[in-house]
């Protein structure tokens, strides 16, 4: 979980730097950062467990 959060922070820093220098595709870095943060959140709070109904694997 901690590694995913660290990756999210690093990607966020890249996003800020890319935006500051006016580089294209900033939204791609922001999307990667958000994705890593969501995976970190999911690891900690097991959000994916509530989506099991979506696949039809009810217990």
Task: Classify residue 35: in a domain, yes or no.
Answer: yes
The model carries a pTM of 0.79
Task: Classify residue 32: in a domain, yes or no.
Answer: yes
- Which long-range contacts (C-beta less than 8 Å, at least 24 apart) are formed by 11-20? 11/36
Structural domain tally of the chain?
A: 1
Please tell me the predicted confidence (pLDDT) of residue 28: 97
Please tell me the predicted confidence (pLDDT) of residue 52: 65
**28-42 core/surface letters (b: 16 or more CB in 10 A; e: else):** ebbebbeebbebbee
Task: Classify residue 58: in a domain, yes or no.
Answer: no
Task: Classify residue 57: in a domain, yes or no.
Answer: no
- pLDDT tens digits, 10-57: 999 999 999 999 999 999 999 999 999 999 999 998 887 777 666 665
Task: Classify residue 51: in a domain, yes or no.
Answer: no
3-state secondary structure of 53: helix
Please tell me the predicted confidence (pLDDT) of residue 36: 96
Please tell me the predicted confidence (pLDDT) of residue 59: 54
For residue 32, the enclosing domain spans 2-44
Task: Classify residue 52: in a domain, yes or no.
Answer: no
């Amino acid at each position: 979980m901690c590694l995913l959060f660290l990756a999210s922070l690093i990607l966020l820093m890249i996003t800020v730097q890319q935006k500051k220098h006016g580089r294209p595709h900033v939204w791609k870095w922001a999307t990667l950062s958000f994705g890593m943060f969501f995976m970190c959140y999911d690891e900690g709070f097991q959000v994916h467990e509530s989506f099991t109904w979506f696949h039809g694997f009810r217990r």
